[in-house]
Amino acid sequence: MRCINSGLNGLLLALVLSLPALAGAQTPSPPLPPAPPPKAEEAPAYKFSGLVYGDYYYFAENHRDELQGQSGFWIRRMYFTYDQVMSKSLSLRVRLEMNSKGDFKSTGVNTPYIKDLWLKWVFGAQSLTFGIAPTANIDFIDTFQGYRSVEKSPFDLYRWDTSRDLGLLLQGGLGKEKRTRYSIQLGNGSGTGSEVNPNKSVRGQILHSFAGGLVLEGYADWQDGPNGLDVSTLEACAGWQEKTWRASLQYGHQERRQAATGGGDLSLNFLSAFAAVQVSPRVTVLGRVDRNFDPIPNVETIDYLPFSDAAKSVFGLVGVDVTLFKNVHLIPNVEMTAYGEAKDGTTPGTDLVPRVTLFFSW
């Protein structure tokens, strides 16, 4: 028994004495790798969005006696939009629009229709879009001025062109900084409607954004009409944008073949000035004046704001944009149109329409 105890004690002593050597010979464990940085939240591949704007309006004065004193509520636009990014180079949009009836006659329900339906392929600094897509000039003016919720831009308001067309749209940037951009569009010329003839429309635009805030834009189109009723347009716009204000001056000239009385060609011209000034973080004052140098055909049937087609006119609007909450704006505004003397020696009455416009988006 004494021998066994002595052996065990010797073994324990040997193990204790060998621990420092074993510890020195042991390879240290490598340090733990640093935790990977958190991944940036990726944008969803699809998005739903929308907007609504409408007014309470009152026709205080009008060149049409039956509209004098007319008042009410209407929704001039509702968008519901679906956007999807399919890959780094492909994206699509489907947009529905709905409007209240604005002809002062119809009482039917508000029917949605397709406003945008396109597939876009991006390659480098260029893109090619197929489908129902915005037309270049109206899209540029609406975006620069930022107040489509108050009124349409001149091309759209006076029916010089449609805001959408079905066809092909080539766009891109030029130069190292891509400050020069172009747009070329080949379409049916029938807006969001179906094609009913072999005639087509070609539109071209070029614009340059200077570093100091100046933007220069030029536009031309040829709208091939049936039976020789072709339409061609030239337009130029100069805009300036600073942090708290922006302003633009736009001139347009349009030739309508065989559209004048007696079958001659009709020339139309307008000059439009716009300005918006932010007077406080939540309040912006805006104004616009359009001078139509010629009577414009077929404007008596314009929704929400019919014009007289008998005389030259000056259209103006003033408004105050109050931001109530993020993406919610209340915009009291007044629109007025004064007319010159018609060919028969009479002068159409002045149009005066006070409105309170509510705009919100999500």
pLDDT for residue 227: 85
The predicted pLDDT at position 35 comes to 63
Residue 6, in any domain of the structure = no
Residues 224-243, mean pLDDT to the nearest whole number: 94
Domain-located, residue 13:
no
- Indicate whether 24 pLDDT > 80: no
Over the stretch 130-178, which tens digit does the pLDDT of each residue have?
A: 999 999 999 999 999 999 999 999 999 999 999 999 999 999 999 999 9
Please give the model's pTM, rounded to 2 decimal places.
Answer: 0.86
Evaluate whether residue 38 is within a structural domain: no
Q: Say if residue 235's pLDDT is above 50.
A: yes
Residue range of the domain that includes 265: 50-361
Average pLDDT across the chain, whole number: 90
What is residue 297's DSSP assignment? T
225 assigned to some structural domain? yes
Q: What is the 3-state secondary structure (H, E, C) of 334-346?
A: EEEEEECCCCCCC
Residue 316 in contact with residue 332, Cβ under 8 Å? no
Number of domains the chain contains: 1
| Residue 97 included in any domain | yes
Q: What is the DSSP code (8-state) at residue 66?
A: G
Looking at residue 212, which CATH number applies to its domain?
2.40.160.10
Q: What are phi and psi of 14, to 5 degrees?
A: -65, -40
Has residue 17 been placed in a domain? Answer: no
Domain annotation covers residue 4: no
Q: Which of 284, 278, 348, 316 is nearest to 151 (CA)?
A: 316
Q: According to the model, what pLDDT value does residue 233 have?
A: 98
Identify residue 231 by its one-letter amino acid code: V
Per-residue pLDDT at 73 exceeds 80: yes
For residue 176, give the nearest of 129, 102, 125 by alpha carbon: 125
Q: How confident is the model over 308-324, as pLDDT tens digits?
A: 999 999 999 999 999 99
Has residue 78 been placed in a domain?
Answer: yes
